[in-house]
């Protein structure tokens, strides 16, 4: 197995499985045959969407279709190897040129041998939510009064735990909704409701930054704030498809807290965010909630925050 292509925490999980198998007097082969791990396999080749101006909504679908056409032949060797290995359902991602699947350690070894594979990462539930600061801190009221910028006519996708659409401050704000997480859109979370309010609350006192904007409720996390990277990638895809001009993500994966691997803003999350930007979506991601101090050479800024375009 090309261990250099496996995320460190994935290697650790495989070792834990072997240890547990030994404790149960099972051989590693039996473990490989029984227990699967959900992983996302990224391709060595990055893909770039054709750039679309935000106001060119009609061109977005064509650009996204073009991106899918770029990705399809590139992913064929990986899909063929997964089929050969007997893998089950596979999800393809166009925004980031990657696939997600439930694989045994043996299947992971097999697919990691391909030259087309850059990295295999664990796609598991992580606590990834972060909170925003007060609207007052960014002097939003001055923008309303002096520039007349209040969000009117702008569709903002909030990728989060899902929001309580019946909250008094959000009534009538949501124009579209979808869940890419394991929970239905009808199971909202406090964090998603909070961030949606930060964006577009109608409350007379606690008014949102863009209080006249329309919201797209995209649930990419459980109500408790746990999520998988593939859910967020699919959520960005939905933001593009549902004509959002802005995507707000108060979440992220940390090199320190999650063992996330991103060497040069090139991870699957950053690639997805970059391509969403090229397709006309302004992607806004929380950063610095745990301070920006690096520990042991690792960044404390969560991904995909480092870059968006």
Q: What is the rounded distance in angstroms from the CA atom of residue 41 to the CA atom of residue 101?
A: 8
Q: What is the pLDDT of residues 107-126, one digit of tens each?
A: 999 999 999 999 999 998 88
261 and 139 co-located in one domain:
yes
71 and 115 co-located in one domain:
yes
| Angle (nearest 5°) at CA 251 between 248 and 256 | 145
If we measure between CA atoms, which residue out of 246, 256, 250 comes closest to residue 287?
A: 250
143 and 119 co-located in one domain:
no
101 and 66 co-located in one domain:
yes
In a domain, 300, yes or no: no
What residues contact residue 265 under an 8 Å CB cut-off, 6+ apart?
Answer: 274, 303, 304, 306, 307
Per the model's pLDDT, the better-predicted residue between 53 and 132 turns out to be 53
The pTM (predicted TM-score) of the whole model is: 0.74
157 and 78 co-located in one domain:
no
Number of domains in the chain: 2
Q: What is the mean pLDDT of the chain?
A: 88
What residues contact residue 215 under an 8 Å CB cut-off, 6+ apart?
Answer: 155, 156, 157, 158, 163, 170, 173, 174, 175, 196, 199, 200
In a domain, 112, yes or no: yes
Q: What is the pLDDT of residues 127-156, one digit of tens each?
A: 776 544 567 777 888 888 888 899 999 999
163 and 116 co-located in one domain:
no
Domain that holds residue 150: 135-285
141 and 249 co-located in one domain:
yes
Q: What is the pLDDT of residues 153-195, one digit of tens each?
A: 999 999 999 999 999 999 999 999 999 999 999 999 999 999 9
111 and 189 co-located in one domain:
no
In a domain, 257, yes or no: yes
251 and 144 co-located in one domain:
yes
Residues paired with residue 158 on neighbouring β-strands, in sequence order = 217, 248
Q: What is the pLDDT of residues 234-249, one digit of tens each?
A: 999 999 999 999 999 9
Task: Decide if pLDDT at 221 tops 70.
Answer: yes
The count of residues in the chain is 309
In a domain, 292, yes or no: no
């Amino acid at each position: 197995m090309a261990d250099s292509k496996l995320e460190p925490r994935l290697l650790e999980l495989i070792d834990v499985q072997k240890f547990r198998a030994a404790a149960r007097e099972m051989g590693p082969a039996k473990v490989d045959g029984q227990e699967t791990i959900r992983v996302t396999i990224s391709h060595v080749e990055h893909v770039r969407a054709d750039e679309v101006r935000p106001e060119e909504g009609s061109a977005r679908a064509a650009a996204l279709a073009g991106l899918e056409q770029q990705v399809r032949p590139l992913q064929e060797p990986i899909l063929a190897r997964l089929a050969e290995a007997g893998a089950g359902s596979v999800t393809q991602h166009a925004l980031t040129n990657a696939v997600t699947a439930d694989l045994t350690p043996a299947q992971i070894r097999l697919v990691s041998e391909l030259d087309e594979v850059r990295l295999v990462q664990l796609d598991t539930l992580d606590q990834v939510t972060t909170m925003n600061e007060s609207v007052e801190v960014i002097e939003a009221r001055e923008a309303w009064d002096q520039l007349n910028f209040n969000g009117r006519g702008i569709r903002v996708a909030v990728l989060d735990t899902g929001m309580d659409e019946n909250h008094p401050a959000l009534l009538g704000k949501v124009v579209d909704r979808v869940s890419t997480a394991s929970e239905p859109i009808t199971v909202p979370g406090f964090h998603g409701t909070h961030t949606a309010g930060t964006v577009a609350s109608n409350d007379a006192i606690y008014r949102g930054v863009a209080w006249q904007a329309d919201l797209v409720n995209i649930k990419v996390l459980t109500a408790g704030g746990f999520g998988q990277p593939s859910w967020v990638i699919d959520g960005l895809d939905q933001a593009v498809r549902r004509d959002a001009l802005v995507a707000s993500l108060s979440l992220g994966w940390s090199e320190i807290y999650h063992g996330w691997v991103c060497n040069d803003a090139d991870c699957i999350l950053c690639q997805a965010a970059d391509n969403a930007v090229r397709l006309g979506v302004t992607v806004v991601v929380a950063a610095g909630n745990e301070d920006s101090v690096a520990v042991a050479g690792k960044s404390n800024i969560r991904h995909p925050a480092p870059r968006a375009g």
